[in-house]
């Protein structure tokens, strides 16, 4: 019978965690047996997984392990190598990696080779993955979204840790102890790496098991006898393939609602539409990279349509298939004998908008008719302003009223803009 010693890790997370570099707050659900104790590890929730930057297929998934010794067998070489390169005692690195990855079992580790829960700050230029995590804040379990670094291989993940420690001057004092894992981890803790008051004692207890096992198997010399390399390697980030569900491939006429506001750079434009490049999109005030696609049978007159779409509507690749089908079907109806509304224009006055354009409209028109910069659905490439303007007797408006929702597009009702259709659901 496996008993959980849940009192081992009682974490008190305060608001200061917001600036801490490490997500070490989530010790729940699963547990990992180490010697006689049970360590709880972070539970990253996969449902809101999204990546940015990754398009290659060279990601190797890290392997989860079931015990500390198995973890050492698999990853000690990577820890030893970067320990020597960066002047960090490898025993402490193994202990940190084992503890924070749940022996390689966390989603962040298995899929993105991030063993240390290192978040992607503004200086990070490599790939990222956004995951929801459960954290305990003031005694309440809450779900928060955080952007983490993503690495193509386990070795890159360990190297990323060395780079991270070196790049942050707050950890400079810890680098005075390349041969003393206990002093190193104490200095790391004192610099604010973790807020768990028992972080040092937990790490050191794992270190001791690491040291014992490595000595027994004669795997590596102790760090106290290892001379660090003269210079640290230059930073390499590599490219990480997206391992999130439904974040790559080609758009179809079916909208992937679950990921509608996620980075769409890995989504290829739907058949029949034309790639119009990767651009800065915004949703809910946050920058997201989006791939735009030009809809060839849908003329559009605004600056972005002219600049990126050769005079055609440009929309987020995630809705390129749905919009192309909508326009194609509307044209087919208009040109068919079933049409009782006479000939009508099928054109747009605005689709995707740049931040500069939205800021201009905000200054000129303001709310409610212009969306706040960073919040307009035009900025995610998920909205269309049709050229019939407020003419609700226009054939295209009548066609949209009868059919738009079937394709996933809804009229903006508040404020009412009959010309504006987007994916938000008609609110
Ligand atoms: Zn609009």
The answer to whether position 427 is within a domain reads no
- Are 199 and 341 in the same domain? no
Give the per-residue pLDDT at 258: 76
Q: How far is the CA of 296 from the centre of ligand 1 (A)?
A: 20
**Between 315 and 163, residue with greater pLDDT:** 315
Please give the distance, rounded to the nearest whole angstrom, from the Cα atom of residue 133 to the centre of ligand 1: 34
| pLDDT, position 226 | 93
What residues sit around ligand 1, an ion, with C-beta below 5 angstroms?
385, 420
393 CA distance to ligand 1 middle (Å): 19
Peptide bond between residue 7 and the one before it cis (omega within 30 degrees of 0): no
Q: Would residue 91 count as lying in a domain? A: yes
CA–centroid distance, 321 to ligand 1, in Å, is: 20
Question: Which of 225, 259, 274 corresponds to the end of one domain?
Answer: 225
Dihedral, CA of residue 150, residue 151, residue 156 and residue 157, to nearest 10: 40
Span from the CA of 378 to the centroid of ligand 1 (angstroms): 6
- The set of residues, in sequence order, having a beta carbon less than 8 Å from that of 307 and lying 6+ positions away, is none
Residue that finishes a domain, picked among 173, 192, 225:
225
CATH code, domain with 48 = 1.10.530.10
- For residue 359, the CA-to-ligand 1 centroid distance in Å is 14
Residues 95 and 207 in one domain: yes
Q: How confident is the model at residue 4 (pLDDT cuts 50, 70, 90)?
A: very low
Pair (165, 259) in one structural domain: no
Whether pLDDT at 209 is above 90? yes
- Looking at the structure of the chain, the number of domains it has is 2
Whether 240 is in a domain gets the answer no
Q: What is the DSSP letter of 394?
A: S
Q: What is the pLDDT of residue 153?
A: 87
Helix, strand, or coil (residue 206): helix
Q: Is 44 a residue whose pLDDT tops 80?
A: no
Whether the pLDDT of residue 326 is over 50: the answer is yes
Compute the distance from residue 233 Cα to the ligand 1 centre, in Å. Answer: 49
Q: pLDDT tens for residues 149-161? A: 888 889 999 999 9
pLDDT higher at 387 or 251:
387
Same domain as 168, residue 88: yes
282 Cα: distance to centroid of ligand 1 (angstroms):
15
On whether both 179 and 320 belong to a single domain, the answer is: no
105 within domain boundaries: yes
Q: What is the CATH number of the domain that holds 276?
A: 3.30.1380
Spacing, Cα 76 to ligand 1 middle (Å): 55
Rounded distance between C-alpha atoms, residue 314 and residue 320, angstroms: 9
Instruction: Give the Å distance between the CA of 370 and the centre of ligand 1.
Output: 8
**Are 122 and 183 in a shared domain?**
yes
Q: What is the pLDDT of residue 137?
A: 64
Residue written as token pair 């803790």: 189
Q: Is residue 207 part of a domain?
A: yes
Q: Percent of the chain having pLDDT more than 70?
A: 79
- The verdict on 259 and 221 lying in the same domain is no
| pLDDT tops 90 at residue 180 | yes
Residues 112 and 183 both lie in one domain: yes
Distance 294 CA to ligand 1 centre (A): 17
Is 177 found in the same domain as 37? yes
Q: Is residue 411 part of a domain?
A: yes
User: How many A from CA of 418 to the centre of ligand 1?
Assistant: 9
pLDDT tens-place string over residues 231-269: 888 766 666 655 443 345 788 888 888 788 889 988 889
- The confidence score (pLDDT) of residue 5 equals 30
Residues 264-318: pLDDT tens digits?
988 889 999 999 999 999 998 889 999 999 999 999 999 999 999 999 999 999 9
For 265, counting Cβ atoms within 10 Å of its Cβ (0-12 exposed, 13-18 middle, 19+ buried), the class is buried
295 and 411 both lie in a single domain: yes
Domain housing 75:
6-225
Pair 303, 316: CB distance under 8 Å: no
Q: Tell me the C-alpha distance between 365 and 371, whole Å.
A: 9
Claim to verify: residue 183 and residue 276 sit in the same structural domain: no
pTM (two decimals): 0.48
């Amino acid at each position: 019978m496996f008993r959980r010693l849940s009192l081992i890790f009682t974490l008190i997370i305060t608001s200061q965690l917001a600036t801490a570099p490490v997500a070490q707050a989530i010790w729940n659900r699963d547990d990992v047996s180490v010697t006689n104790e049970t360590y709880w590890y972070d539970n990253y929730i996969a449902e809101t997984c999204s990546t940015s930057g990754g398009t290659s297929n060279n990601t190797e998934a890290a392997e989860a392990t079931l015990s500390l010794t198995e973890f050492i067998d698999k990853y000690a070489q990577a820890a030893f190598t970067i320990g020597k390169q960066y002047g960090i005692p490898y025993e402490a690195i193994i202990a940190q990696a084992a503890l924070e990855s749940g022996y390689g079992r966390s989603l962040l580790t298995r899929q993105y080779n991030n063993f240390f829960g290192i978040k992607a700050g503004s200086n990070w230029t490599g790939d990222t993955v956004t995951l929801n995590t459960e954290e305990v804040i003031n005694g309440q379990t809450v779900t928060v979204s955080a952007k983490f670094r993503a690495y193509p291989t386990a070795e890159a993940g360990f190297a990323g840790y060395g780079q991270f420690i070196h790049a942050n001057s707050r950890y400079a004092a810890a680098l005075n102890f390349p041969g003393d894992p206990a002093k190193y981890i104490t200095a790391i803790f004192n610099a604010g790496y973790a807020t768990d008051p028992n972080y040092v004692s937990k790490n050191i207890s794992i270190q001791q098991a690491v040291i014992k096992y490595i000595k027994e198997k004669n795997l590596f010399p102790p760090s106290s006898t290892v001379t660090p390399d003269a210079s640290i390697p230059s930073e390499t980030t590599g490219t990480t393939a997206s391992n999130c569900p439904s974040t790559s491939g080609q758009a179809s006429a079916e909208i992937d609602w679950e990921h509608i506001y996620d980075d769409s750079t890995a989504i290829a434009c739907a058949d029949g539409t034309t790639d119009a490049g990767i651009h800065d999109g915004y949703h809910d005030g946050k920058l997201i990279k989006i791939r735009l696609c030009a809809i060839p049978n849908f003329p559009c007159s605004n600056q972005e349509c002219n600049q990126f779409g050769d005079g055609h509507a440009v929309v987020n690749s995630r809705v390129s298939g749905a919009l192309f089908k909508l326009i194609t079907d509307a044209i087919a109806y208009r040109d068919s004998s079933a049409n009782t509304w006479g000939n009508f224009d099928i054109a747009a006055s605005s689709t995707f908008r740049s931040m500069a354009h939205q800021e201009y409209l905000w200054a000129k028109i303001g709310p409610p008719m212009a969306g706040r910069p960073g919040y307009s659905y035009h900025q995610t490439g998920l909205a269309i302003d049709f050229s019939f303007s407020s003419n609700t007797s226009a054939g295209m408006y009548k066609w949209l009223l009868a059919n738009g929702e079937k394709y996933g597009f809804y009229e903006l009702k508040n404020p009412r803009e009959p010309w504006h259709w987007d994916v938000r659901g008609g609110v």
